[in-house]
A = this chain, B = another copy of it.
Amino acid sequence: MPRPTIADVARRAGVSKSTVSRVLSGNVEYMRPDTKARVEQAIAELGYRPSHLARSLTSKRTYTAALLVSDVGNPFYPEVIHGVEDVALSHGYDIYLCNTNYDVSRGLNSIRSLIDRQVDGILIMSSSMTDEWLEELVQHSIPTVVLDWVLTNPPPTVGIIGVDYRPGIQAAVEHLLALGHRRFAHVSGPLHLPTALARRDAFLHALAAHGINPSQVAIIEGNFRVDGGRAAMDELLSLPQMPTAVFTGNDMMAMGLVRASRARGLQVPRDISVVGLDDIWLVADMEPPLTTVALPRYEIGQMAMRMLLDLLKRPPASPYQQVETRLVCRQSTAAPPAA
């Protein structure tokens, strides 16, 4: 037998569809208690549950949101996803998850599909996005929240979660300086990404504030992945003068770098100090445990979803919120070699 519909309930309770609809939506101000009771009983007896679909058709609300990430396999995401999901769940929302696989056009396809499905809003946490995505979404006036993206003049339906890299990175720099380091390198993410630039610049500024000229800092462009960190190690070794401390744009590259350095006979932190960024769970018990700039990822997820819900209520908003970073000191940093 197919699911009972609202008409079945109405028939059984001897009332009209509208009456059933009213008790469902709690709109019972002018309803006789016994009528309400009859309807409720019919609902219970039939095990009736309203169809989300039909409801959405009139209400224009699907109670559905989408989360676009580059790749669920990236350890950065799980906690973010949990944060998003927990808030979503508690507001009756379900989440479409889409991996862009770092592919801009795949992402755009997903977005189109999601628009056709009338999702109420979209969370974009894929670094490999383009402004074209936003245009598409703005055009259809779909509320959107973007993580760590730079937007001059954001449209009213777009919210932004910013990351303030300064406090964490500044603390890292001061920590390294205090240990005695003077020669630094940075392994960045792909420099066409705003987030990679922000991290690099926060690092350089913090150094400059302490009298270290950015031009003395070796910058190696990486790819945010483990193998990028590995490759970077080789570049470091080919430098005329090895830096004694390296800050990597994320933890994955730090992992690759530490491994590659071990393979090259260098020991972390004795021969070289390494600081990562993200504080993914893996690095807490790496060999050695990684010193890193932590991002509150669960919080980011929650915040993003909450912002989206806000955007859904009172659209002309375009909010901006920031999360802070902080330094987590572990054992991949030490005084530079005497040399």
In the assembled complex, the CB of A188 is this many whole angstroms from the nearest CB of chain B, namely: 22
Interface residues of A in 228-266 (CB under 8 A from B): 259
Docked-complex contact B116 and A49, CB < 8 angstroms: yes
| Distance in angstroms between the alpha carbons of A197 and B52 in the assembled complex | 39
Return chain B residues, CB-CB under 8 Å to A281. Answer: 73
Stoichiometry, as copies per complex, reads 2
Instruction: Decide: A71 and B62 in contact? CB cutoff 8 A.
Output: no
B62 touches A73 (CB 8 A): no
Contact: B116 with A99, CB < 8 Å? no
Residue of B nearest to A117 (CB): B52
Which of the residues B54, B94, B113, B226 comes within 8 Å of A113, measured between beta carbons? B94
Q: Is A51 an interface residue (CB 8 A)?
A: yes
Contact B97 A117 (CB under 8 A): no
Q: Mask for A74-90, Cβ within 8 A of B = 1, else 0? A: 01011101100100010
A116 touches B52 (CB 8 A): yes
Residue of B nearest to A259 (CB): B285
Taking the closest CB of chain B, its distance from the CB of A69, in whole angstroms, is 10
Interface membership of chain A positions 39-78, coded 1 if the CB is closer than 8 angstroms to chain B and 0 otherwise: 0000000000111111011000010100000011101011
Is A96 at the interface (CB under 8 A from chain B)? yes
Cβ proximity bits A141-171 to B, threshold 8 Å, 1 near / 0 not: 0000000000000000000000000000000
Task: Flag whether A191 is at the interface (Cβ < 8 A).
Answer: no
Contacting A79 at CB < 8 Å: which of B73, B92, B259, B287? B73
Q: Given A82-B101, A94-B110, 19 other A-B contacts at CB below 8 A?
A: A51-B116, A51-B118, A53-B56, A53-B57, A53-B118, A71-B78, A72-B72, A72-B77, A72-B82, A73-B79, A73-B82, A73-B281, A81-B97, A85-B99, A89-B110, A94-B98, A95-B98, A96-B96, A282-B282
- The contact sample of 13 A-B pairs, CB cut-off 8 A, is A49-B115, A50-B116, A51-B118, A53-B57, A53-B118, A57-B57, A72-B77, A72-B78, A72-B82, A73-B82, A82-B99, A95-B96, A287-B287
Q: Which residues of A contact B (CB under 8 A)?
A: 3, 49-54, 56-57, 62, 64, 71-73, 75, 77-79, 81-82, 85, 89, 92, 94-99, 101, 109-110, 113-118, 140, 226, 259, 281-282, 285, 287
